[in-house]
Amino acid sequence: MAESDQPGAPSTLPELWSRHFADSAQLRSLAPDARLWLDLGSGAGFPGLVVAILQTGVPEFRMHLVESNHKKCAFLAEVVRAAEAPVDIHAMRIEQVAERAQSLRPDVVSARALAPLPRLLELAAPFFGEGTRGLFLKGREAQAEIEAARLGWAFDARLHASLTAKDAAIVEVTGLRRKTLEDGAP
């Protein structure tokens, strides 16, 4: 692999900014009044850590990052410490957080590159309260993922065009609930 093809090489910096940082940062404008935010499968901090850093200093804002990989959590913790970001890190699987944090009802649940929307809604559902919104970064198959998710879930969806990639979208989900037989669930 040539040096210019390696992640982090100087020639990849513009792509790194738009593909990861700016892509994550655009979520902030979709939920400017959110005070409690939960990011599922945070990985290297996209989008949750980016949003949290941007929200540093906003009164009563708190970001919860969920990541099961302990090495990634150590990285996240170091960035949180250095940035003095308002973050709690949950070094466990999403399902474990759902079991332990029954009272965690965030204003926003976000995820990027975690799972197809039907599975993502299953993971996010335990955290949804009446006013919770999901903000999920998706690619060109966003509409197809919404249709697939509607087989088992009832929800309102709004697609926001990505500001960083012409073939990407942000799926905003509200009113999430599992479909019942009355809803026509399979």
pLDDT per position as a tens digit, 7-25: 445 555 566 555 668 889 9
| Number of domain units in the chain | 1
In this structure, what DSSP letter does residue 58 have? Answer: S
Phi and psi (nearest 5°) for 66?
Answer: -115, 120
Q: Could you identify the residue written with the tokens 């697609």?
A: 159
Phi and psi (nearest 5°) for 159?
Answer: -95, 130
**Cβ distance 40 to 110 under 8 Å?**
yes
With cut-offs at 50, 70 and 90, classify the pLDDT of residue 4: very low
Residue 25: which of 115, 107, 137, 114 has the closest Cα?
137
pLDDT at 63 over 50: yes
For 31-51, what is the mean pLDDT?
96
**CATH code, 11:** 3.40.50.150
With cut-offs at 50, 70 and 90, classify the pLDDT of residue 2: very low
Q: What is the domain extent for residue 8?
A: 3-183
Supply the mean pLDDT for the chain: 89
Question: Residue 1: CB partners within 8 Å, gap ≥ 6?
Answer: none
List, for residues 92-139, the tens digit of each pLDDT value: 999 999 987 777 889 999 999 899 999 999 999 999 999 999 999 999
Outline where DSSP puts E strands in the chain: 36-40, 62-66, 87-90, 108-112, 133-138, 153-161, 169-178
In this structure, what DSSP letter does residue 37 have? Answer: E
50 or 163: which carries more pLDDT confidence?
Answer: 50
Stated pTM of the model:
0.88
Q: How many angstroms separate the first and last alpha carbons of the chain? A: 48
Sign of CA dihedral 136, 34, 52, 104: negative
**Cβ distance 159 to 169 under 8 Å?**
yes
Cα 23 to Cα 46: distance, rounded to the nearest angstrom: 8
